[in-house]
Structure 1
């Protein structure tokens, strides 16, 4: 593991929450996208402790440090760098997983995130396209790449990560992308049921996380951009019943539950994980 990257070193060694269930994913092959940081890393850490064999995918090479840290704890973890905004990248990730393990039992699609924060009339057309490319296509392409493997196996679970920001200020393109993730979930669940495949999603609200090693986009510049971003923060908190952001573990827990056999009679649903904000 990279000794010169204390943030990643800390991430790999962080203590597990008390609520994890040892052995829940024993003999399961789980592919997690966006696994280098944030919610994806929290899911990887928890699901590794529950016995899964992992495929960790990210566009950042930091994912290799995460995998190395887990392997040091006797976890089977393959790491893959790929651009999931393209079908070629998604297919490469799935191919690597199947080559290594022979199958994918669970796919957790976690890639996405707001790039800009501003009223819709201030978005340039190319910015709108980039938001959709970032937060819709990685899920769409990964589902397309992995679904045939699950159909051949006659089983599988896909957990997508949408957002309650489908109803929120200053993020219309991102809202459109995450609304698309929710639609993919409900529509693909109808197709998957006949093949023994469940497709579910969570819709996270605002989530506290360490500073990102790889930034989603430019930081707000100038007083106006900072004010627009503050509107997002204020609206996010005001929309929750609990009046706070969630934690990474509070997001990872529901994702891991939905991925598990305990949720075997749940498909086509999107669970809001946002302190009472339903989006």
Structure 2
């Protein structure tokens, strides 16, 4: 359901906007009145932004590697150049790359998982703060995961645990500046096959077994015993980002069919 003009004249940055949850969030924000900046390191985001622009919506696409501080600084600079302010940041970039018991991870794989699922959120929060403080307010939504209590993806779980801690502490620190910070812990979510996979290498037979164990454990951990839909996550993220949630900050909200992570 689209709420007409719920984000009218707000400037919102959405990371990982080329596909999946990020794409759904960006589309809804734009349709609900936001000046929306769609960020991804894949050029598929250009097509998403182009389709929204054809509808007469105010959008900007930015290509950037958000695993680097310079990448996020570029996003902020281009957003301010185009729209002069930043009201909302949706930190959506992240996602487990490998699925296997922890003892099978290599050193570089652990580093890559942390770089993928923690650093973009750290850089994003840091980069937008000056603009939000100058504007005397803002909202940061960090997309986390119930995988903080999961199997076969321990580095990813550690990264999302860091996102939850960042959310709580940053909200505490920035409340005097009228900046809200909320995390949405996504549960198992059905989505189309990724256009750009997180892992370019095909899973081995053993890795497919380990991945299926994640799926089975995630489904079993929910009260409803099934995966949710992208729309379920988008609805929660947009609610948390809206003025309807103006008295909610510093918490992680699970959207996971009852799995608290």
1:207 aligned onto 2:192:
no
Mean Cα displacement is larger for which, 215-224 or 34-43? 215-224
Which residue matches 1:267? 249
- What is the alpha-carbon distance in structure 1 between the residues aligned to residue 234 and residue 24 of structure 2? 6
Superposed displacement of residue 221, structure 1: 3.0
In structure 1, runs of 5+ residues without a counterpart are 1-18
Mean Cα displacement is larger for which, 236-245 or 220-229? 220-229
Runs of 4+ displaced beyond 6 Å: none
- Counting only pairs closer than 5 Å after superposition, residues 42-61 of structure 1 correspond to structure 2 as 42-61=24-43
- Counting only pairs closer than 5 Å after superposition, residues 1-279 of structure 1 correspond to structure 2 as 19-218=1-200, 221-279=203-261
SS of structure 2 residue aligned to 1:79: strand
- CA-to-aligned-CA distance 1:10-50 (integer Å, 9 cap, x gap): xxxxxxxxx22111000101110000000000111111111
State the TM-score, normalized to the length of structure 1: 0.92
SS of structure 2 residue aligned to 1:162: strand
Count of aligned pairs between the two proteins? 261
SS of structure 1 residue aligned to 2:228: coil
State the TM-score, normalized to the length of structure 2: 0.98
- What is the alpha-carbon distance in structure 2 between the residues aligned to residue 140 and residue 187 of structure 1? 12
SS of structure 1 residue aligned to 2:66: coil
- CA-to-aligned-CA distance 1:101-148 (integer Å, 9 cap, x gap): 000000000000000000000000110000000000000001111011
SS of structure 1 residue aligned to 2:7: coil
